[in-house]
Amino acid sequence: MSVPRHWRESKRRYRLLGTKCKSCKKLHYPPRTVCSSCKSRDLEEYQFKGKGNIYSYTIIRNPPEGYTFCRPYAAALVELEEGEIVTAQITDCDLDHLEIGMPVEVVIRKLFAYGESGIIVYGYKFRPILPRK
Partner 1 sequence: MPCMPGIGKKSGCDEMNDVAIVGIGCTPVGEPWNKSLREIAVESTWAAMNDAGVNEVDGLVVGNMSSGNFVDQESLGSLIADYAGLGNITAFKVEGACGSGGVAFRTGVMAVASGMHDVVCVTGVEKMTDVVGDSATKILANASDREYEAVHGVTFVGLNAMVMRRYMHDYNARREDICSIPVNSHKNAVHNKNAMFRREISLDSVINSPMVADPLSLMECAPICDGAASIILTTRERAKEFTDTPIIVKGSAVKVDTIGVHDRKNVTSMTATVEAAKEAYNMAKLTPKDMDTAELHDAFSIMGVIGLEDLGFVRHGKGAHFAAEGQIGIGGKLPCCTYGGLKARGHPVGATGVYQILELTKNLRGEGVVDAQNGIAQNIGGTGSTVSVTILGRDI
Partner 2 sequence: MKTIKDIGIYGYGAYVPMYRIKNSDIARVWGNDPERVPVKEKSVPGPDEDACTIACEASKNALLRADISPQKLGTVWVGTESKPYAVKPTATIVAEYLGATPSINAADWEFACKAGTEALQGAIAYVGSGMAEYALAVGVDTAQGQPSDALEYTAAAGGAAFIMGPSEGSLAEYEGSYSFVTDTPDFWRRQHEHYPKHASRFTGVPAYFSHITNATKTLCNELQREPNDYDYVIFHQPNAKFPMAAAKMLGVDKEKVIPGLISPYIGNTYAGSAMLGLSAVLDVAKPDDLVLCVSYGSGAGSDAFSFKITDKIIEARERAPNVKSYIARRVGIDYAMYARYREKIRM
- Interface residues with partner 1 (CB under 8 A) are 5, 9, 13, 30, 36, 55-68, 70, 73, 75-77, 84-89, 100, 111-112, 121, 123, 125
Contact assessment for residue 77 and residue 54, using Cβ atoms and an 8 Å cutoff: yes
Residues 6+ apart with CB under 8 A from 90: 54, 57, 73, 74, 75, 76, 78, 98, 104, 125, 126, 127, 128
Start-to-end CA span in the chain (Å): 43
The interface partner of residue 35, options being partner 2, Zn ion, partner 1, none and the CB cut-off 5 to 8 Å by kind, is: Zn ion
Binding site for Zn ion (CB under 5 A): 21, 24, 26, 35, 37-38, 40
Binding site for partner 2 (CB under 8 A): 10-11, 14-15, 69-70, 89, 91-92, 94, 107-111, 120, 122, 125, 130-133
